[in-house]
Amino acid sequence: MVARPVKILLLFIIILVCTQYSTAQRTSTLRTKTGTIKITFVHTINEAPLVLDSMEYVNPFDEPYRISKLKYYISNIAVKHLKKSFAEPESYHLIDEADAASLSFNFDAPANNYSSISFTIGVDSIKNISGAQSGALDPANGMFWTWNSGYIFFKLEGSSTSSTLINNKIEYHIGGFAAPNNALKRVTLQMPDNTLLLVQAGKTCEIIIAADINKLWQADNNLKIAETPATMTPGAVAIKIANNYSRMFTIKELLTPYSP
Amino acid sequence: MKVKVIIVLFLFASTAWLFIGAVDNGPDPYKPKYIKLDVPKGWPKPAKDIFKDNPLTEQGFQLGKKLFYDGRLSKDGNFACASCHQQFAAFATYDHDFSHGFKDQFTTRNAPGIFNLAWTPLLHWDGGINHIEVQPLAPLTAPNEMAENIDSVLKKLRKDTAYPKLFKAAFGSNLINSQRMLKALAQFTGSIVSYSSKYDKVQRGEAFFTPAEQKGYDFFKIKCAGCHTEPLFTDNSFRNNGMAINPQLKDFGRMRITTDKNDSLKFKVPSLRNITLTFPYMHDGRFYSIGQAIDHYRTGIVTTQPTLDTALKNRIAINNAEKNNLIYFLYTLTDTTLAKSNRYR
């Protein structure tokens, strides 16, 4: 027969192993019920891919321009179908054309079919008034106004011979989270051709979102470079431009789920 | 017997593993000393808790203090926060209308004193800064002030032998990023509380006003306290007090932030605490004496400005005796404890 203390020891080991096992089990069940959504942004002008600095483009008013910098925030992403929806937690992404790694990112969502995706261009007001942030919202990323606390939601810089500014600069720094200068824009995109985004357990599905930069000058409002070569403060012009760029996103392609 | 001892030891060790096994505290566990903001008796609670996401600790405060006095936060090493915010001037710039910055440049506004920021919802003369943690970004990156950029400062701090340890003591690991730097600075500047002036001692029954001070206080409560509200001596509002615009600076104050015409020429009502230390006065430091500032309200207000504060439409009637008493009273707002405390240096 086994001695009593040894029995207690054995019992304890069993309990210990079971507890650890069930914890591991719980996380793995969670894992099997979620899939990964990968979002990729591609920037185009007149259907050609954006190339910084070296390429010259023409806007809808036949004004030539080059882009040297394109950065913007995509935040609070949510996917939805009928009554089911899922919002990415702590959802802040800084898209920077000069940093290829920033153009794609992943997050996990419950396995489901989704018919639409929505996101904010910019950073919600709470994060604008809550002090120093980190990660995508680190002020060191150059997307924060130091003299008028708040994030720059969207930054496009470059040059155009139509610009009257020094060195033919064009510079649009769009931000402003408080009324009446609120330039936050919410975009909702339906999956194309009545298809659904298939998020399958343990697999990755991909959405490729195209952004047509020329919409910045012509969508809801007409904005000629000759008249508005720059704006760097919250206000009416920033809101007009924000309205325009909120129209530039379309879903270009959905890639069916694949195993990573 | 031996078996029992082994079993007890085993149970103890495995229980410990079960509960804390997953948490890696490293060789030195993070044990900061939590401290509390000094909220003087009888003062209102701060409208919002500036330390809500930044728990105040002795280690964080000390790190913030070191950063505040460190010239390496500026491009050429000459301009620490403390170079414009001098303790002996209640953390304003002593005897300067404009402070000095990188390559002999001037600032464009008078440096305000730093105290009681936990009760100050919006910072800067125009209220452009909405949280104490992000304020240092403004002077740090301004080309005429510290002229630096965040990444460069962080590189300097990471190379230093002392900072990684201090960041670890304050925040639990030696990671040095902008968020931690800014939170530490906020712990220091946000902890500076001024409440030890003669006025405060009188309120607490520890001292008495002279007759002239008392007369000045009585007059103050009737004519000045509408904007310079006790106990902070500001209501934190933005008002146009009728100063002629400086044609070179063309500073329209609050309007730059709100883009609202109705905010043209409005500036934050400054606290009058430590007024003898924070001269010169007004957003552009145009008045060097308290007497000049009072004279502005008696005779100097430009009454034609459309956004002039309604309380000042007829200027303020103050006779010479009242002016003298008022000055005697304002002297009682000087907090020498703050100006000399070792805690802040």
Residue ranges of A 9-28 with Cβ closer than 8 A to chain B: 9, 12-13, 16, 19-20
The SS3 of residue B285 is: coil
CB contact under 8 A, B7 and A5: yes
Question: Is the minimum CB–CB distance between A179 and chain B shorter than 8 Å?
Answer: no
pLDDT of residue A239: 97
Long-range contacts of B305-309 (CB under 8 A, 24+ apart): B305/B240, B305/B242, B305/B265, B306/B264, B307/B240, B307/B262, B307/B263, B307/B264, B307/B265, B307/B266, B308/B240, B308/B241, B308/B242, B309/B227, B309/B239, B309/B240, B309/B241, B309/B242
Question: Is the minimum CB–CB distance between A150 and chain B shorter than 8 Å?
Answer: yes
Is B58-193's fold the same as B198-340's?
A: yes
pLDDT at B11 over 80: no
CATH of domain B198-340: 1.10.760.10
pLDDT at B257 over 70: yes
pLDDT of residue B198: 98
On whether the CB atoms of residues A153 and A174 are closer than 8 A, the answer is yes
Residue ranges of A 184-243 with Cβ closer than 8 A to chain B: 233-235
d(CA A19, CA B15): 12
Average pLDDT over residues B269-293: 97
Confidence of residue B4 (pLDDT cuts 50, 70, 90): low
> What does pLDDT average to over chain B?
93
Average pLDDT over residues B136-151: 96
pLDDT at A19 over 70: no
pLDDT at A2 over 90: no
Convert the pLDDT of each residue in A21-44 to its tens digit.
Answer: 554 444 444 445 999 999 999 999
d(CA B16, CA A212): 57
Question: Is the minimum CB–CB distance between B256 and chain A shorter than 8 Å?
Answer: yes
Q: What is the distance in angstroms between the Cα of A137 and the nearest Cα belonging to chain B?
A: 10
CB contact under 8 A, A140 and B151: yes
CB contact under 8 A, B129 and A149: yes
Which residue is closest to B12 within chain A, CA to CA? A12
Best of A23, A138, A143, A148 to mutate (most B CBs within 10 Å, chain B): A148
Question: Is the minimum CB–CB distance between A175 and chain B shorter than 8 Å?
Answer: no
Question: Is the minimum CB–CB distance between A133 and chain B shorter than 8 Å?
Answer: yes
Q: Which residues are CB-neighbours of B176 under 8 A, at least 6 positions away?
A: B154, B157, B158, B163, B164, B167
Q: Which residues are CB-neighbours of A161 under 8 A, at least 6 positions away?
A: A63, A64, A168
- Closest CB from A13, A130, A147 relative to B128: A147
- Closest CB from B140, B154, B179 relative to A133: B179
Spell out the domain ranges in chain B. Answer: 58-193, 198-340
Least confident of A169-173, A179-183, B14-18: B14-18
B263 interaction partners in chain A (CB closer than 8 Å): none
- Closest CB from A5, A9, A149 relative to B134: A149
Q: What is the distance in angstroms between the Cα of A32 and the nearest Cα belonging to chain B?
A: 23
pLDDT at A162 over 80: yes
The full DSSP string for A132-186 is: ---GGG-GGGS-EETTTTEEEEEEEEEE-TT--SGGGEEEEEEE--STTS---EE
CB contact under 8 A, A150 and B137: no
pLDDT of residue B255: 96
Taking alpha carbons only, the member of B76, B46, B80, B40 closest to residue B64 is B80
Tokens linked to B225: 């306290």
Selected residue with higher pLDDT from A231 and A193: A231
Spell out a b/e string for A216-227, using b for 16 or more CB atoms within 10 Å of the CB, else e: bbebeeebebee
Question: Is the minimum CB–CB distance between B2 and chain A shorter than 8 Å?
Answer: no
pLDDT at A9 over 70: no
Question: Is the minimum CB–CB distance between A144 and chain B shorter than 8 Å?
Answer: yes
pLDDT at A250 over 70: yes
Alpha-carbon torsion B141, A130, B35, B160, what sign? negative
Question: Is the minimum CB–CB distance between A30 and chain B shorter than 8 Å?
Answer: no
pLDDT at B22 over 50: no
Average pLDDT over residues B125-136: 97
pLDDT of residue B47: 83
Assigned CATH class of B58-193: mainly alpha
Question: Is the minimum CB–CB distance between A110 and chain B shorter than 8 Å?
Answer: no
Convert the pLDDT of each residue in B160-194 to its tens digit.
Answer: 999 999 999 999 999 999 999 999 999 999 999 99
pLDDT at B217 over 90: yes
Least confident of A13-17, B34-38, B238-242, B270-274: A13-17
CB contact under 8 A, A148 and B142: no
Convert the pLDDT of each residue in A78-110 to its tens digit.
Answer: 999 999 999 999 999 999 999 999 999 999 999
Convert the pLDDT of each residue in B33-87 to its tens digit.
Answer: 999 999 999 999 998 899 999 999 999 999 999 999 999 999 999 999 999 999 9
Question: Is the minimum CB–CB distance between B138 and chain A shorter than 8 Å?
Answer: yes
A126 interaction partners in chain B (CB closer than 8 Å): none
Least confident of A39-53, B1-15, B25-39, B241-255: B1-15
> What does pLDDT average to over chain A?
90
Angle subtended at Cα A151 by Cα A150 and Cα A154, rounded to the nearest 5 degrees: 145
Question: Is the minimum CB–CB distance between B142 and chain A shorter than 8 Å?
Answer: yes
pLDDT of residue A55: 95
On whether the CB atoms of residues B51 and B25 are closer than 8 A, the answer is no
- What percentage of residues in chain A have a pLDDT greater than 70? 87
Question: Is the minimum CB–CB distance between B144 and chain A shorter than 8 Å?
Answer: no
Convert the pLDDT of each residue in B298-331 to its tens digit.
Answer: 999 999 999 999 999 999 999 999 999 999 999 9
Convert the pLDDT of each residue in A176-224 to its tens digit.
Answer: 999 999 999 999 999 998 899 999 999 999 999 999 999 999 999 999 9
pLDDT of residue A258: 77
Measured from the Cβ of residue A239, the count of other Cβ atoms closer than 10 Å reads 20
Count of H helices and E strands in chain B? 13, 4
Alpha-carbon torsion A124, A130, A134, A139, what sign? positive
Q: What is the distance in angstroms between the Cα of A72 and the nearest Cα belonging to chain B?
A: 20
- What percentage of residues in chain B have a pLDDT greater than 70? 92
Confidence of residue B28 (pLDDT cuts 50, 70, 90): low
Give the position of tokens 């086994």: A2
